[in-house]
Amino acid sequence: MDVKEAEERAGQLREQISYHNRKYYVQDAPEISDYEYDMMYRELQQLENEFPQLVTPDSPTQKVGAAPLNKFEPVAHTVPLESLQDAFSEEEMAEFDRRVRAVVHDPVYIVEPKFDGLSVALEYRDGVYVRGSTRGDGLVGEDVTENIRTIRTVPLKLSEKLPMIEVRGEVYMAHDVFYQLCARQELNQEKTFKNPRNAAAGSLRQKDSRITAKRTLDIFVFNVQRVEGAALEYHDQALEYMEKLGFSVTPFYRRCTTLEQVLEAVREIGEMRGTLNYSIDGAVVKVNSFEQRHILGSTAKFPKWAQAFKYPPEEKKTRLLDIEVNVGRTGVLTPTGTFEPVTLAGTTVSRATLHNQDYISEKDIRVGDTVILRKAGE
């Protein structure tokens, strides 16, 4: 096979593999067997090994990780990755709605989950992935281009050759992947991550992207930061367009025209929390029209066209199996309760501090009691 034939075949294989990656990892709808996929992947690897000049940055074979970095370079965000003002009650959401309606006429809202991961920006030039960065402080983040390249649900080449597009997403670790990672860490007597969010953040900020590649991270993309070559007027239109380009977008959102519809959607997302294989810590309510967003503007800290609803801490009932008393270095006695394991915010919990004897006496805590557990800091 000469170079020209190899180049043509490699291009076909990249296109086919990228298509099947999306069907498998994003849509959960594989069309070929693992064996057929592996054979295509191996053929592409062999071609690229035989003709190294054919290796491209967007090749599926380049998702295995690059050489270790000495440090992360700062990245100034062209469009700030803003944080959102929080609402903790339906009354606060109603106040947000009143503020919006005082400025714009008949707003339409999009309500979607607030993912609990690490916020990132992905930049593409001529349809090819060129840079990935963390949110940082919203104005300046860190360059994690090679680490993000290893995430299977990040397309390295888009379905359209746009001059430029930058999107924002949330990198996360699925709960089942998190449990497997913790089991491996415990087996190797390594320090375990406290929750999936910490695991995602720690995995993405590895100096060696080959470690990141082994951590099986995922991403949901939820916003177009800036774009050249496409005219977008509404957020739901942008979500559909990003999915068409090959991104894994937020899997659930509701289009609402009234406050009551917004609150119903917020409640619906809240009820979904315990059934998902990833962590969410709220719902985000956004004005759909980009023109209305421009009119509403932003404060020094937050956009006025969006608000995050934070749910009360997740609670689970379980049974107290035993009370152990541990002696600290200073001789202080600390009682710890052991419980039937329950899952809270993506973490399996089977132990919790009971503070001291006064706390136990005051609450009349006894072995065999049914108790309610809540994660601190949630």
Looking at the annotation, which residues are catalytic?
114
Hey, which residues does 171 pair with through a beta bridge? 118, 219
**Which residue's entry shows tokens 């930058």?**
166
Where in the chain does DSSP place strands (E)?
Answer: 74-76, 86-87, 109-115, 118-125, 128-134, 140-142, 164-172, 218-228, 254-256, 280-287, 306-310, 315-327, 333-344, 347-353, 370-374
Rounded CA Rg of the chain: 24
Instruction: Tell me how far apart the alpha carbons of residues 34 and 79 are, in angstroms, rounded to a whole number.
Output: 40
Amino acid at 360: I
**Which residue's entry shows tokens 């959401």?**
93
* Long-range contacts, stretch 177-184, CB < 8 angstroms, 24+ apart: 177/215, 177/216, 178/346, 179/348, 181/215
Residues 217 and 203 sit within 8 Å (Cβ to Cβ): yes
Amino acid at 276: L
Q: What b/e sequence results for 134-152 when a residue is b if at least 16 CB atoms lie within 10 Å of its CB, and e otherwise? A: bbbeeeebbbbbbbbbbbb
Q: Which two tokens stand for residue 83?
A: 């944080």
Q: Which H helix or E strand runs over 92?
A: helix 90-101
Where in 144-217 does DSSP place strands (E)?
Answer: 164-172
Residues 109 and 176 sit within 8 Å (Cβ to Cβ): no
Instruction: Tell me how far apart the alpha carbons of residues 153 and 338 are, in angstroms, rounded to a whole number.
Output: 38
Q: Which two tokens stand for residue 21?
A: 């990656």
Contacts for 272 with CB less than 8 Å, ≥ 6 apart: 113, 252, 280
